[in-house]
Each structure stands twice: as structure tokens, then as C-alpha cells.
């Protein structure tokens, strides 16, 4: 009798846990963001000029809402995390105002690598994601070509300087 009572209690606990988790799945995640998620968010917000550093914009509130929608979609696609726009706005303000050391680390990561943090959840590409990757490769290739040209120019200048010093 005691064993059946215990089994019933355990099964009730398991059912109540399942119900809680299913309810929590419907809500937006309110836990702390991982560093990679923050880097992703900061990258999108910086590229889209969320803080309006580069000029006045028509309908700035509509523009900011669209940018934040991109962040929400990106976090969901890349990390499988659902967050509300309000949560992300608050997190962004906290990063900039209160957590300046964390914000500094994120800026360093973005400056060192212009690589977008991508975590694929599925094994197949969509045409949109493939096109994005191709564009990133083209941009990186252009940057690499510019670096090569500048390196050749500097090497030529150094050779000219060595020749001038050799004549003296």
C-alpha cells in the first residue's frame, strides 16, 4: 500500500513538472543571455546603427522596432531562444550603462573578428542563408584584396627606402 502511494506521488510530481515546463516554453526566456547571444545582438545593433550615431532618420521608433525584430529573429534562428523586444532593449541599455566591462569585451570581439557568430540548428541551408554566406565571402575577399594591395605598396616603399640608403 505504501509503495503504491509512493508511486502515485511520484507520478503526480512528474506530471506537474511537465505542465510547468510546457507553460514556460510558451513564455519568452527571461534568463541571462550567453556571451555569444550578446555578441550577436550587439553586432546586429551596431551594423544597423540602432543608437543613431550616423545621422537623423525618418520615423526612428519604427526603424528601431524593425531592427529589434531582426535581433529577435536572429537569436531564435541561431540559438533557439525566444526573447521579447522589451527584454532585449533592457539588456542593451544595461550593457551600455551598467555593465561597461562586459560591453567593452563584446566590442573587442566585434573589432577583432568581423565574423558573425552563427550556430546552425539544422543540417540544411536555405537559399537565403546560402546567399548571406556568399555575400560574406565576397566582402571578405574584397577586404583581403585591399590588404594585399596595401602590403605590396608598403613593400615597394621599403625597397625604395633601402635603395636610397644603399646609395648614401
pLDDT of residue 154: 93
pLDDT of residue 119: 55
pLDDT of residue 150: 92
Taking the C-alpha atoms of residue 111 and residue 109, their distance in angstroms, rounded to an integer, is: 5
User: Average model confidence (pLDDT) for the chain?
Assistant: 75
Across 8-28, average pLDDT: 44
**Least trusted range by pLDDT, from 7-11, 69-73, 126-130:** 7-11
pLDDT of residue 152: 93
**Do the beta carbons of residue 43 and residue 110 sit within 8 Å?**
yes
Confidence tier at 118 by pLDDT (50, 70, 90): low
pLDDT at residue 26 tops 70: no
Residues 6+ apart with CB under 8 A from 48: 67, 70
pTM for the full model? 0.47
pLDDT of residue 31: 60
Largest CA-CA distance found in the chain, in angstroms, rounded: 106
pLDDT at residue 15 tops 60: no
Confidence tier at 121 by pLDDT (50, 70, 90): low
pLDDT at residue 17 tops 50: no
DSSP assignment string, the chain? -HHHHHHHHHHHHHHHHHHHHHHHHHSPP-SPPPHHHHHHHHHHHHHTTTT-TT---SSHHHHHHHHHHHHHHHHHHHH-----HHHHHHHHHHHHHT-HHHHHHHHHHHHH--PPP---SSSS--HHHHHHHHHHHHHHHHHHHHHHHHHHHHHHHHHHHHHHHHH-
pLDDT of residue 115: 53
pLDDT of residue 126: 73
pLDDT at residue 29 tops 90: no
**Domain coordinates in residue numbering, the chain:** 30-121, 123-168
**CA angle, 91 then 94 then 99, to 5°:** 120
Amino acid at each position: 500500500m505504501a509503495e503504491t502511494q509512493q508511486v502515485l506521488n511520484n507520478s503526480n510530481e512528474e506530471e506537474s513538472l511537465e505542465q510547468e515546463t510546457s507553460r514556460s516554453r510558451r513564455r519568452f526566456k527571461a534568463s541571462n543571455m550567453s556571451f555569444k547571444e550578446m555578441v550577436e545582438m550587439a553586432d546586429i545593433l551596431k551594423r544597423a546603427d540602432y543608437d543613431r550615431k550616423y545621422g537623423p532618420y525618418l520615423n526612428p521608433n519604427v526603424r528601431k522596432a524593425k531592427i529589434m525584430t531582426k535581433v529577435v529573429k536572429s537569436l531564435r534562428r541561431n540559438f533557439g531562444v525566444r526573447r521579447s523586444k522589451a527584454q532585449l532593449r533592457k539588456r542593451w541599455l544595461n550593457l551600455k550603462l551598467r555593465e561597461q566591462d562586459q560591453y567593452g569585451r563584446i566590442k573587442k570581439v566585434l573589432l577583432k573578428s568581423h565574423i558573425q557568430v552563427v550556430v546552425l540548428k539544422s543540417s540544411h541551408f536555405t537559399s537565403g542563408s546560402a546567399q548571406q554566406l556568399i555575400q560574406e565571402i565576397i566582402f571578405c575577399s574584397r577586404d583581403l584584396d585591399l590588404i594585399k594591395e596595401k602590403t605590396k605598396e608598403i613593400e615597394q616603399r621599403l625597397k625604395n627606402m633601402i635603395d636610397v640608403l644603399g646609395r648614401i
